Homo-oligomer: A and B are copies of this chain.
Amino acid sequence: MTLRFALLGAGRIGKVHARAVGSNPQAKLVAVADAFEKAATELATAYGAEVRTIDAIEKSKDIDAVVICTPTDTHADLIERFAKAGKAIFCEKPIDLNVKRVEKCLAVVEKTKATLMVGFNRRFDPHFAAVRKAIDDGAIGTVEMVTITSRDPGAPPIDYIKRSGGIFRDMTIHDFDMARFLLGEEPVAVSAHASVLVDKKIGAAGDFDSVSVILETASGKQAVISNSRRATYGYDQRIEVHGSKGMVAAENQRPVSIELANEKGYTRPPLHDFFMTRYLDAYANEIAAFIAAATSGKKAAPSGADGLVALKLADAALKSATTGKTVRLDTAK
């Protein structure tokens, strides 16, 4: 069976997903929508798809699933519309920047029994997935402490930052999801520190660019997250999980792994330049998992609820960083 896709939003992340859909033998990209017709046309042409409006896609009988890559403030509305239209929905994170809006949206999804998957792509990275598998295999015993290092090569434009909901909801949210993925138990307390060290304009826009977070679960497991909007050496993405019987870690990835030795020492090339190359396999695996869920009727993961919990953790971190208090929250159901 082939799942027929429409792509909503033909920007940077839209292109990433178009590629993942286009190279999956069980998927076909049928339609592309974008406010900028040129962007829609280019992407549609590259994958043999048509340009359609969102309204048309909503009514299209030859569309089984949508990939939502539009601006964040449209996500919740689109999820509700397409849930009602009976389409399977893959939505880029976050569902919304407002917890109440997300909860309302998820109520609609639940009522319609729509398949909804949220784009926490890193769970599908082969290296991170192998870490998870090592834990599941019992290789490190009981998980105790998680360390996540996540640094972007550079800050996004200030305009983006203003709309992003801030570093915790935009960037750290991926690490909150990864921490939950690895801890295997819900965090109940969050302590965070946040500074402006990279670019004062980010501070002027009301955001931070350098943050450290500690998460703690009810049983005392801890996760530490270190984020920066700066990394001169490439896209720094590392995880490490320490357990009662050992430790398992996923190291950074680089496009080519050669090493040059001379009088200055031994030098390996910089890391991947950003997520489009670093997580190429992850995006492909993610769409494959979505297709599997959509065609099997099984629950998609990460789910809308996963998106909601990550957002709550982001809100808690922001509150902790600004109040100087550990924020306790009940994310467990």
Contacts and interface: CB of A to CB of B under 8 A. Distances in A.
A196 interface: yes
A197 interface: yes
A265 interface: yes
Nearest to A25: B46
A264 B263 contact: no
A296 interface: no
A246 to B, nearest CB: 3
A144 interface: yes
A250 interface: yes
B221 A224 contact: no
B264 A270 contact: yes
A324 interface: yes
Contact of A242 (B228, B248, B257): B228
A214 interface: yes
A144 to B, nearest CB: 5
A158 interface: no
A241 to B, nearest CB: 10
B220 A210 contact: yes
B222 A224 contact: no
A89 to B, nearest CB: 28
Contacts of A211: 222
B248 A220 contact: no
Contacts of A248: 258-261
Given A262-B246, A265-B270, A191 B220 contact: no
**Protomer copies:** 4
A98 interface: no
A268 B270 contact: no
A98 B255 CA distance: 39
A228 B145 contact: yes
Contact of A126 (B144, B247, B256, B260): B256
Interface string A233-249: 10010000010111111
A27 interface: no
Interface of A: 23, 126-127, 130-131, 134, 139-140, 142, 144-145, 147, 149, 151, 189, 191-193, 195-198, 210-214, 216, 219-222, 224, 226, 228, 230-233, 236, 242, 244-251, 253, 255-270, 320, 324-326, 328
Given A144-B210, A145-B210, A193-B214, 12 more contacts: A130-B258, A145-B212, A191-B214, A195-B216, A212-B216, A245-B262, A247-B262, A248-B258, A264-B270, A266-B268, A266-B269, A324-B328
